[in-house]
């Protein structure tokens, strides 16, 4: 419908009288970016459900209440529901419909009725014309009403797109390398071997530790090299989430989110060196481990009490994940006989002491790689696991100088 010139002239005079200024419409995000953000925001709700096994509620916890309101917007918007349908692996939308059926009622209002009430009383005469009604309904303005507010410049909504969401992607080796770590951590928490404590300092972020962010259990698998950005030191992290996703966010970004709603998980009491207690204030320096080979080669299987004593700056399970392809592990699976986390300790020096004590029974094994090149596998010792474990507390209390290892009797003896 075309608007009569006299009506347009009247509207122009009204605009001039009331100093109505045309404002530029806020630009929309590209369709692909809008879609990605809608899906990423829904993933937060999905993560919460997987961890807590329930939908978020309208409670006093800010992070949960925010997810509750976000879920409501998805349920009330058919377009959003359709967009995330393929990602709703837990049927969250269906579960929400059972709990909140009112969210799925079509409450759309008639545009013309809503907008006609916004017309000032002294303009009712102009508003009675058919042409003006067309403007009110948005037919002459591409679906945008003159008084509906679509032309008003609105402050952009603050985007809550933290680094750990924006950079998240599936973790390809989650099932093989990390899934059992999360299962063990959850088991320890339930058994009381670990505790969940409020996050306080970014210095507490270390590789091999678990954290809780917005109800989601996260594991720092790697902490990269330090680099300077301005006056601050930062690190690139590799963070694995319990839902099989991972992120490469920066340490300072991660700490910022943890300060808001985050927690950290203490170390398990049964995985630290005897006589040592690790708190959230301590600096974890690494892991001492003892492994046995599961090789099927007869020349390896025939050696009794063959153990590898080593040191790792990352959790042992992660360190040995690819042992079948590493000559240091004899290109075969290995079994963890013992693993101890150390804090505030020169772990490499601790490892060297163990090597020194059992140096007499140390052997180097020639192992061919897949190309036939021979490599020497070191740090393997012919010594019973019980004797290795006996030596550990002697090193810690400083009495190891009073002992020596008798290879013939396979015992530690007082000098």
Helices (H), 223-339: 251-261, 298-301, 316-319
- In 3D, which of 74, 115, 120, 64 has the Cα closest to residue 94? 74
pLDDT over 50 (residue 32)? yes
C-alpha distances in Å from residue 198, one per residue of 184, 258, 262, 348? 21, 9, 7, 31
Q: How confident is the model at residue 383 (pLDDT cuts 50, 70, 90)?
A: very high
- The whole-angstrom separation of Cα 68 and Cα 365 is 59
Say what the pLDDT of residue 110 is.
42
**Residue holding tokens 């006056």?**
231
> 218 near 257, Cβ under 8 Å?
no
- The whole-angstrom separation of Cα 29 and Cα 58 is 30
Q: What are the backbone dihedrals phi and psi of residue 351, each rounded to the nearest 5 degrees, phi first?
A: -60, -40
Q: How confident is the model at residue 270 (pLDDT cuts 50, 70, 90)?
A: low
Say what the pLDDT of residue 379 is.
83
Tell me what the mean pLDDT of segment 138-164 comes to. 46
Tell me what the mean pLDDT of segment 193-213 comes to. 83
Say what the pLDDT of residue 240 is.
94
Q: How confident is the model at residue 397 (pLDDT cuts 50, 70, 90)?
A: confident
Q: How confident is the model at residue 174 (pLDDT cuts 50, 70, 90)?
A: very high
Tell me what the mean pLDDT of segment 62-86 comes to. 88
Say what the pLDDT of residue 320 is.
83
* Percent of the chain with pLDDT strictly greater than 90: 10
What pTM did the predictor assign? 0.41
Q: How many CB atoms lie within 10 A of CB 290?
A: 22
Say what the pLDDT of residue 237 is.
92
pLDDT over 80 (residue 317)? no
pLDDT over 90 (residue 130)? no
pLDDT over 70 (residue 386)? yes
Question: What are the structural domains, with CATH classification, of the chain?
Answer: 1-108 (no CATH), 163-266 (2.30.30.30), 284-414 (no CATH)
Say what the pLDDT of residue 127 is.
55
- The whole-angstrom separation of Cα 369 and Cα 366 is 10
Say what the pLDDT of residue 135 is.
56
Asked whether the CA dihedral 78, 79, 80, 85 is positive or negative, the reply is: positive
Tell me what the mean pLDDT of segment 251-273 comes to. 78
- Which pLDDT tens digit goes with each residue over 217-259? 999 999 888 888 777 888 999 999 998 999 888 898 888 888 8
Q: How confident is the model at residue 165 (pLDDT cuts 50, 70, 90)?
A: very low
- DSSP output for 187-249: HHHHHTSS-EEE---GGG--TT-EEEETTEEEEEEEE---EEETTEEE-BEEEEETTSEEE--
Q: How confident is the model at residue 306 (pLDDT cuts 50, 70, 90)?
A: very high
pLDDT over 80 (residue 52)? no
Tell me which of 193 and 172 has the higher pLDDT. Answer: 172
- DSSP output for 111-127: HHHHHHTTS-GGGHHHH
Tokens representing 110 are 């008639």
CA 332 to chain centre: 31
- The whole-angstrom separation of Cα 271 and Cα 193 is 10
Tell me what the mean pLDDT of segment 167-186 comes to. 87
What mean pLDDT, rounded, does the chain reach? 76
- The whole-angstrom separation of Cα 321 and Cα 176 is 8
- The whole-angstrom separation of Cα 384 and Cα 100 is 62
Tell me which of 260 and 8 has the higher pLDDT. Answer: 260
- The whole-angstrom separation of Cα 217 and Cα 158 is 26
Say what the pLDDT of residue 219 is.
94
Strand partners, 216: 213
Q: How confident is the model at residue 281 (pLDDT cuts 50, 70, 90)?
A: low
Q: What are the backbone dihedrals phi and psi of residue 48, each rounded to the nearest 5 degrees, phi first?
A: -60, -45
- The whole-angstrom separation of Cα 263 and Cα 250 is 17
> Treating both helix axes as pointing N-terminal to C-terminal, what angle do 62-76 and 31-52 enclose, rounded to 10 degrees?
120
Tell me what the mean pLDDT of segment 333-337 comes to. 86
Q: How confident is the model at residue 382 (pLDDT cuts 50, 70, 90)?
A: very high
What's 101's DSSP letter? G
């Amino acid at each position: 419908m075309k608007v009569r010139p006299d009506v347009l002239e009247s509207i122009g005079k009204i605009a001039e009288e009331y100093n109505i200024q045309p404002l530029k419409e806020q630009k929309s995000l590209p369709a692909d970016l809008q879609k990605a953000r809608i899906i990423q925001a829904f993933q937060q709700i999905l993560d919460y459900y997987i961890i807590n096994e329930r939908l978020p509620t309208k409670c006093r916890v800010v992070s949960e209440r925010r997810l509750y309101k976000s879920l409501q917007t998805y349920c009330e918007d058919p377009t959003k529901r359709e967009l995330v349908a393929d990602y709703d692996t837990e049927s969250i939308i269906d579960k929400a419909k059972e709990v909140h059926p009112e969210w799925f009622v079509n409450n759309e209002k008639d545009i013309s009725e809503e907008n006609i009430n916004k017309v000032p009383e002294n303009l009712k005469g102009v508003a009675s014309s058919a042409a003006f009604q067309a403007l009110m309904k948005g037919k002459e303005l591409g679906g945008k009403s003159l008084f509906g507010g679509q032309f008003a410049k609105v402050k952009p909504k603050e985007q809550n797109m933290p680094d750990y969401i924006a950079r998240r992607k599936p973790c390809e080796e989650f099932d093989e390398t990390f899934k059992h770590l999360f299962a063990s951590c959850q088991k320890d928490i339930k058994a009381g071997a670990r505790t969940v404590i409020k996050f306080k300092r970014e210095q507490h972020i270390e590789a091999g530790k678990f954290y809780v962010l917005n109800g989601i259990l996260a594991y720092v698998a790697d902490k990269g090299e330090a680099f300077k950005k301005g006056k601050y030191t930062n690190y690139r992290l590799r963070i694995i989430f319990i839902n099989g996703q991972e992120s490469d966010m920066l340490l300072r970004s991660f700490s910022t989110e943890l300060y808001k709603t985050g927690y950290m998980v203490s170390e398990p009491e049964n995985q630290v060196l005897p006589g040592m207690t690790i708190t959230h204030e301590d600096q974890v320096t690494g892991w001492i481990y003892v492994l046995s080979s599961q090789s099927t080669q007869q020349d390896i299987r025939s050696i009794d009490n063959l153990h590898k004593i080593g040191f790792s700056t990352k959790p042992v399970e992660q360190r040995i994940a690819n042992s079948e392809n590493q000559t240091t592990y004899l290109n075969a699976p290995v079994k963890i006989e013992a693993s101890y986390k150390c804090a505030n300790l020169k772990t490499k020096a601790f490892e060297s002491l163990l090597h020194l004590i059992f140096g007499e029974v140390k052997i180097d094994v020639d192992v061919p790689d897949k190309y036939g090149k021979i490599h020497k596998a070191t740090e393997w010792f012919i010594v019973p696991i019980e004797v290795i474990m006996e030596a550990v507390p002697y090193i810690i209390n400083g009495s190891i100088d009073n002992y020596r290892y008798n290879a013939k009797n396979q015992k530690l003896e007082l000098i």
